[in-house]
Amino acid sequence: MNQPFKVVIPARYASTRLPGKPLLDIAGQPMIAHVCARASEAGAEQVVIATDDVRILQTVQDLGFTAVMTRPDHQSGTERIAEVAESFGWAQDTIIVNLQGDEPLIPAAYIRDVAAALAGQQHAGIATLAAEIFDPEEIFNPNAVKVVLSKQGYALYFSRAPIPWERAAFSHDGGIPSGAMPYLRHIGMYAYRVSFLRRYCHWPASVLESVESLEQLRILWQGEAVRVQVVAETPPAGVDTPEDLLRVAAILQARAGG
């Protein structure tokens, strides 16, 4: 479906490993400029950067994009996006894609995919992405979040553990999956309807999300549905460390022919 959607990019200045991360130079431009470009390429009808720092605000405005200051006390990017939706007065059925400000390599097609996944059904107020895991080691990597789906394509559970647990294959050390069903890695990009965001902001943290350290489990804890669109592959990782910065810069320079 080609229902219009908006993109909101939460961009905080504070970062333990990379202070001022959205403003760091990558291939001659601040990182936030590359993220904004991906949102524009995806065909978003509006791109808004939500920040808590005037330096990011000014840089984004100088780039010709819309930026707004949000409260500094938000516990998550989702809460920051909810504030933006409220301040702009967006309608209840408006679709918003949450694009992280440190994901300059995210394919524009994936932004469209997650928006379309939400627009294509009415059961869930939120949609996200997943990709098949081909490396057996990744199944056991707690940093790779796994998701199990219903036959209708809705999330049954998210976990850092290898789910589903393939008893016959995993009962011996070094066991590998039989291939009886695909293992899926969750890709942390979300599309929401404004009506969902308003409900979400009233929910307390859940026991499940505290145990797994996965915020999306708050949604399942509340009995809400999460639509999951399976895409071809996991996108390149974002920027969390100085090494990531060099890796992403090399990729973007190669793409630009430089």
* CA–CA dist 148, 158 (Å, integer): 7
Q: What are the residues whose beta carbons fall under 8 Å from the beta carbon of 158, sequence distance 6 or more?
A: 145, 146, 147, 186, 212, 214, 216, 217, 220
Q: Please report the pLDDT score of residue 258 as a whole number.
A: 53
Cα separation, 66 vs 8, in Å, equals 10
Model confidence pLDDT, tens digit, residues 99-157: 998 999 999 999 999 999 999 999 999 999 999 998 888 999 999 999 999 999 999 99
pLDDT at 88 over 60: yes
The model's pTM: 0.91
Q: Looking at residue 27, what is its pLDDT?
A: 87
Convert the pLDDT of each residue in 19-78 to its tens digit: 888 999 998 899 999 999 999 999 999 999 999 899 999 999 999 999 999 988 877 888
Provide the residue type at 117 as one letter. A
Residue by residue, DSSP assigns 154-205 as: BEEEEESS-SS--HHHHTSTT----SSS--EEEEEEEEEEHHHHHHHTTPPP
Average pLDDT, the chain: 90
CB atoms within 10 A of CB 152: 9
CB count in 10 Å sphere of residue 30: 21
CB 32 within 8 A of CB 59: yes
Instruction: Sketch out the chain's domains with CATH numbers.
Output: 1-106 (3.90.550.10), 117-188+196-235 (3.90.550.10)
Residue pair 193/95 in contact (Cβ under 8 Å)? The answer is yes
Most distant CA pair in the chain, distance? 58
Q: CB-based contacts of 128: which residues, under 8 Å, 6+ apart?
A: 114, 155, 186, 187, 188, 189, 190, 191, 216, 226, 227, 228, 229
- Chain-centroid distance of CA 12 in Å reads 15
